Amino acid sequence: MTRSTWRTRIGFILAAVGSAVGIGNIWRFPWLTAENGGAAFLTLYLVLVVGVGVPGLIGEFVIGRRSNRNPVGAFDELAGRWYRPLGAIALIACLVILSFYSVVGGWILRYTFASTTGAYFAAPQQYFAAIDYGLGAVGFHVLFLAATVAIVYLGVERGIELSTTVMVPGIVVLFGGLAVWVSTLPGAGGGYDFYLSLDVSYLRENFFSVLPAAAGQALFTLSVGAGTMLTYSSYLGEDRSLAADGTLIAVLNTAIGVLAGLVIFPLLFSLGVSPGQGGPGALFVSLAGAFAELPYSRLVGVVFFGVVLLAALSSAISILEVLVAYLVDEHDLSRGWATLGTGGIFLVTGTIAALSPSAFGLLADTLSNVVLTAGLIGFLLFDGWVLGRLAREEFGRGAGPIAQIFEAPWYYAIAVVLPVFLAFTLVTSVAG
Ligand code: PHE
Ligand code: NA
């Protein structure tokens, strides 16, 4: 069987950015920032994106491009079947993440529709609380999931590329515009304070709870540890600089998350909602308040949530694609049956998350962090100790002079320092 490769040189970047930029940036990041002390979380998160996320992303690319296989087959191909369980962790991560991701995707779909009437403008907090979990949430989760399944079923790689080229500029323009506008609102200053001015004593006192949350989010936002980036890089046909591509993806993705925070925190403060109060609804509550104030509020709402929906879909597709690629490659299932079968699983798991706030919270927060961290530890130990010199060689393929300087430091980081560090965050998150 011949494997397809990315049609255009930039197709891979577009798909990877499409996977990375999602509700992780726009919804999960502000939610966790609010729960973990604002600037304290932001600071650790930025450090960990650079120190752990980017080298980890490159480590995942190395396995994908070297093997040209799905996350389970990759290990088999490179080192034999005893290594297959390393890929199974990534599959579990995909199962955990899409189970709640689809629920949030459903919320967004619902807000896109609700924007046409402005149903939530008057009492945003009450509106969110009334619709977040329950049968309505189940219905919209099913719709979002059906859209994801349909796109993966049709295998529209062009569609992913197209949606990213619309979504990324769309997000930057919309959030950029909103960020400027919110800076003029009374009370916005408290939001900048919370988000940007680091309270060292908060960080010191809460270090062991903020650390695993920030590390988990650094992986989540870059789609690292779930085999998504491994799968996408397995279609890389030509020599590219994995380090340069990884850095570009991380910079774009992180900028979008930081920008989202510059909109959401000033808004929450100007509405008089304390960030901790917002919970998973912080995004929806703050934006509703803003849209109600703006001219053409319904149109703004539809366009805004429509763009966020694209971001959510392109990420959800990348998760489902991992499971489908695995079933098609390793179990000889047709693409159709593989897609429908995995869709059926998420129909059930997503419904549970859509009905139960505690199941949702567990999946979306701690459990996601744990599976991604575990997945990445496996990938990096494999790179460092099983591939060894070959991993360095793969890093070097297509690398320019600047990237080459990082080859040795990258290798020692992923082989030793990062696995130890990640194991430590795993212990603190399970213990805390
Ligand atoms: N990175 C995506 C986001 O920020 C979520 C994701 C995680 C996608 C893991 C794929 C794999 O929304
Ligand atoms: Na992201």
Does some domain include residue 3? no
State the sign of the Cα–Cα–Cα–Cα dihedral 347, 349, 350, 353. positive
Q: Is 20 in the pocket of ligand 1 (CB under 6 A)?
A: yes
Q: Is 102 in the pocket of ligand 1 (CB under 6 A)?
A: no
Q: For 405, which DSSP code?
A: H
Q: Is 220 in the pocket of ligand 1 (CB under 6 A)?
A: yes
What is the CA(97)–ligand 2 centre distance, in A?
A: 13
The CATH number assigned to the domain holding 238 equals: 1.20.1740
Cα(223)–Cα(20) distance, rounded to whole angstroms? 5
Q: Is 49:221 a contact under the CB 8 Å cutoff? A: yes
What is the CA(222)–ligand 2 centre distance, in A?
A: 5
Cα(339)–Cα(361) distance, rounded to whole angstroms? 26
pLDDT band at 1 (very low <50, low <70, confident <90, very high): very low
Closest ligand (CA of 49): 2
Does some domain include residue 6? no
pLDDT band at 163 (very low <50, low <70, confident <90, very high): confident
The predicted-structure confidence for 204-263, as pLDDT tens digits, reads as follows: 999 999 999 999 999 999 999 999 999 999 988 667 899 999 999 999 999 999 999 999
Burial class (CB in 10 A: 0-12, 13-18, 19+), 3: exposed
Query: Could you tell me the end-to-end alpha-carbon distance of the chain, in angstroms, rounded to an integer?
Result: 48
Closest ligand (CA of 28): 1
Closest ligand (CA of 225): 1
pLDDT(277) > 90? no
Q: For 273, which DSSP code?
A: -
- Which of the listed residues 318, 321, 372 should we mutate to test ligand 1's pocket, taking the one with most ligand atoms within 8 A of CB? 318
Does some domain include residue 120? yes
Does some domain include residue 2? no
Tell me which residue has tokens 């910079």: 251
Q: Is 15:312 a contact under the CB 8 Å cutoff? A: no
Cα(55)–Cα(413) distance, rounded to whole angstroms? 8
How far, in whole angstroms, is CA 274 from its chain's centroid?
Answer: 25
Give me the number of domains the chain comprises.
1
Tell me which residue has tokens 């990884």: 246
Average pLDDT taken over every residue of the chain: 93
Cα(181)–Cα(176) distance, rounded to whole angstroms? 9
Q: Is 315 in the pocket of ligand 1 (CB under 6 A)?
A: yes
Tell me which residue has tokens 């950029």: 176
Q: Which residue lies with its CA nearest to atom 4 of ligand 1?
A: 24
Q: Is residue 334 classed as helix, strand or coil in its secondary structure? A: coil
Q: Which residue lies with its CA nearest to atom 11 of ligand 1?
A: 223
Does some domain include residue 326? yes
What is the CA(295)–ligand 1 centre distance, in A?
A: 33
Of residues 1 and 335, which shows the higher confidence score? 335
Write down the pLDDT at residue 279.
79
Does some domain include residue 5? no
For 339, the token pair is: 């897609």
Closest ligand (CA of 318): 1
DSSP percent split of the chain into helix, strand, coil, nearest 5: 85, 0, 15
* Average pLDDT of span 136-164: 90
Write down the pLDDT at residue 187.
93
Q: Go through 219-249 and write b for each residue having 16 or more CB atoms within 10 A of its CB, e for each that does not.
A: bbbbbbbbbbbbbbbbbbeeebbbbebbbeb
Q: Which residue lies with its CA nearest to atom 6 of ligand 1?
A: 223
What is the CA(330)–ligand 1 centre distance, in A?
A: 24
Does some domain include residue 4? no
What is the CA(324)–ligand 2 centre distance, in A?
A: 21
What is the CA(19)–ligand 1 centre distance, in A?
A: 6
What is the CA(184)–ligand 1 centre distance, in A?
A: 32
Closest ligand (CA of 148): 1
Does some domain include residue 1? no
What is the CA(389)–ligand 2 centre distance, in A?
A: 31
The predicted-structure confidence for 84-116, as pLDDT tens digits, reads as follows: 999 999 999 999 999 999 999 999 999 999 999
Percent above pLDDT 90 for the chain: 82
Residue 325: which domain range?
11-431
